[in-house]
Amino acid sequence: MWLVLTAPRLASPLVGSSNLIHSHSSLSTRTSRLPSLHFPSAINSLLLSHFPSLSLSLSASKDDIESPNLSMGYSILPDLATEILVPLAAVVGIAFSLLQWSLVSKVKLSPEKSSEEGSGKNGGPSDYLIEEEEGLNDHNVVVKCAEIQNAISEGATSFLFTEYKYVTIFMVIFAALIFVFLGSVEGFSTKPQPCTYNKDKYCKPALATAIFSTVSFLLGAVTSLISGFLGMKIATFANARTTLEARKGVGKAFITAFRSGAVMGFLLAANGLLVLYIAINLFKIYYGDDWEGLFEAITGYGLGGSSMALFGRVGGGIYTKAADVGADLVGKVERNIPEDDPRNPAVIADNVGDNVGDIAGMGSDLFGSYAESSCAALVVASISSFGINHDLTGMLYPLLISSMGIIVCLITTLFATDFFEIKDVKEIEPGLKKQLIISTVLMTIGIAIVSWIALPSSFTIFNFGVQKTVKNWELFFCVAIGLWAGLVIGFVTEYYTSNAYSPVQDVADSCRTGAATNVIFGLALGYKSVIIPIFAIAVSIFVSFSFAAMYGIAVAALDMLSTIATGLAIDAYGPISDNAGGIAEMAGMSHRIRERTDALDAAGNTTAAIGKGFAIGSAALVSLALFGAFVSRAAISTVDVLTPKVFIGLIVGAMLPYWFSAMTMKSVGSAALKMVEEVRRQFNTIPGLMEGTTKPDYATCVKISTDASIKEMIPPGALVMLTPLIVGILFGVETLSGVLAGSLVSGVQIAISASNTGGAWDNAKKYIEAGASEHARTLGPKGSDPHKAAVIGDTIGDPLKDTSGPSLNILIKLMAVESLVFAPFFATHGGILFKYL
């Protein structure tokens, strides 16, 4: 393939002889670096007829094969093109997100503009407003929507600033720990040291690794916080606009919500890629040819991203579920008032929670997954032929995958917003499913192109002390199987959480006999939903490792997240639609608008579950890749489970997800208890509240959720962050490897089960409320005994699907990347107890 691309260079000297010597020299030099390239005899004769001395280059190539040089060919794509394409893709992603933002902002929160649009002057006769049809005051409706949006936005912003104050303190303390621990490996020496994987070469001192790991940690942490904050601002900007567009039809509301999700998705994907690329190039100024040290330091980026995601997910999850459980139990079950009724004191806190938990927390979470999977792949590549031979294009293959993902997601988004139009409620969920299918198919083609032009025909990958020869098509299969495994997980998740299929309908039917049978059916559904995703993950691990060792697993995880922009757009669309329905209810808008937003929200619940499935599946793969990198960096020859040191770690690690889940579940329960008591107090003591003549005290409920989440997020966070440090220092790297393996194996199962159980209970409730089928109508209407049983199941599932479940994938990733960052310290100074026993 290289010959085809360089054919014009061969022809140019024949036209004029001035460039003959230069072209000949360049060709000879480059061909000598291509030992795996074999020319057919006819082409070989043609080359030698024009360039006689080329025979020296061709014969020298055989010597290169026998030499220690690990180069086995060069990629088609020049390094300069790679350095242009990666940041260019990021800039395109940012520009596209800004375009989507501008389109969403055209929906004005002003009565005059809305009235003008509704009259059909711009949108045609079909854009009539339901308020006009039913004789409602359009001016008051829009003003109320704007007021409610401001209240939600201010509440979310206030909470995040409070949370970030505490998180910043942790960030500074942990950054200091990274510097002290890594700097002490060589006694804060400033002298070059033998490289970890090649003792014949000298690398930068340990002090440099400490400094740059600390900087990359802070960089990842700040980027994660910004990702979450931007996501929240986008969602609160779009929620009322989605409500107003729902007056014209479900299609326009869908486009507004989806475009808003796309703004978040593309901003996060592009910013994550761009910041990582800039960090690599800035670090390269100091590290120079020491790529091993450079990419060891870059792992701090993933640690920073995931540590902030942990607090965002746990803190936001506690906030949103405390408010949600309190609002549902008292409002819907005890007082028999609709969801998001403005008389409910917890309604503002509930809608704020959707933004700080499901949006800001999710944004930080997926950014952390992206950062860790990229870092895992880069670390392994740096000690393979890409890093040893300083092949920049091959080295940045993971970033090229992400760049292609941005372009693919851009095209995919246009299918939802421009190429096809949602005209009916029944088209919403299939439309979102098409996004997953289209992005997967296009990304498969994109991966094939990237693998062809960015990878040599063969190369070597570090595989626990030896170099494994890998073909470019083998790595393509590794990446592709990760992508398609993600799609399988997504479809299985949809099957078990969508009320269009029998599993959720069976859960809804079980509500006939009360909450107990509903809980039993829901738990059984969650356990059963684990089976196929685990097989999909297992197959992708086996194939990826067989082809390309731990690097294959790392890029498989990365490709599961390569379409993160589309995944986030689908994921963020759900909470935005949920908020839109709440605003419609609080503003006193037509019940028909609420029906439309509920339909959007029901589809959003399923897509949110699909997003969590992707996140959990990718977390399993990236954790395994990080585990492999940790084992190599800590110089562990084998991880033998029959060794007592490893086995005790294995069984303790398998327990950690249960301990973590217990802490987060209890935190939600404690906060919800306070919320229920406060909501009951207000209903019992505020005159005229149930009649709607008096406003409830929203601020007190917001304060309860804020205080509880800030206080309760610290113990689970400390458990995850301190476990690798304590185990590594006291028991050593072998026991720590057991802890990581145990937490990975049990954490994935619990996370999938918890997320799907909660999602199924939520949609079983919505199935009864919607009454779209004869079966659903026999279980309803709202307020019936089966409906109350479904609400109880939904409240039990809330902390499972939005707090414990999503946080567990961060647990397994974060412990793995933290162990990798601190591996040199643990290997040098760890295992204190065993040294003296």
Q: Average pLDDT, whole number, for the chain?
A: 83
- Cα separation, 606 vs 760, in Å, equals 9
286 close to 212: Cβ distance less than 8 angstroms:
yes
Res 141: pLDDT: 82
Q: Read off the pTM.
A: 0.83
Res 327: pLDDT: 85
- Locate all alpha helices (DSSP H) within 510-563, ordered by sequence: 515-528, 531-560
- Cα separation, 837 vs 59, in Å, equals 60
Q: Residue 363, exposed/middle/buried by CB under 10 A (0-12, 13-18, 19+)? A: buried
- For every residue of 592-608, DSSP letters joined together read HHHHHHHHHHHHHHHHH
Res 28: pLDDT: 34
- Cα separation, 787 vs 765, in Å, equals 7
- Cα separation, 66 vs 61, in Å, equals 9
Res 63: pLDDT: 35
Q: Three-state SS for 476?
A: helix
Which residues are 462's β-sheet partners? Answer: 467
Residues of the chain with pLDDT below 50 are 1-71, 113-127, 131-133, 135
Res 109: pLDDT: 78
pLDDT in tens, 707-740: 988 988 899 999 999 999 999 999 999 999 999 9
- Cα separation, 630 vs 636, in Å, equals 9
556 close to 218: Cβ distance less than 8 angstroms:
no
Cis peptide before 824 (omega within 30 of 0): no
- Cα separation, 772 vs 777, in Å, equals 7
Contacts of 786 (CB under 8 A, 6+ apart): 508, 511, 512, 768, 779, 780
422 close to 254: Cβ distance less than 8 angstroms:
yes
Res 577: pLDDT: 87
Res 88: pLDDT: 96
654 to each of 146, 618, 744, 818, how far by Cα in Å? 48, 19, 8, 18
- Other Cβ atoms less than 10 A from the Cβ of 24: the count is 17
148 close to 586: Cβ distance less than 8 angstroms:
yes
Q: What are phi and psi of 469, to 5 degrees?
A: -75, 130
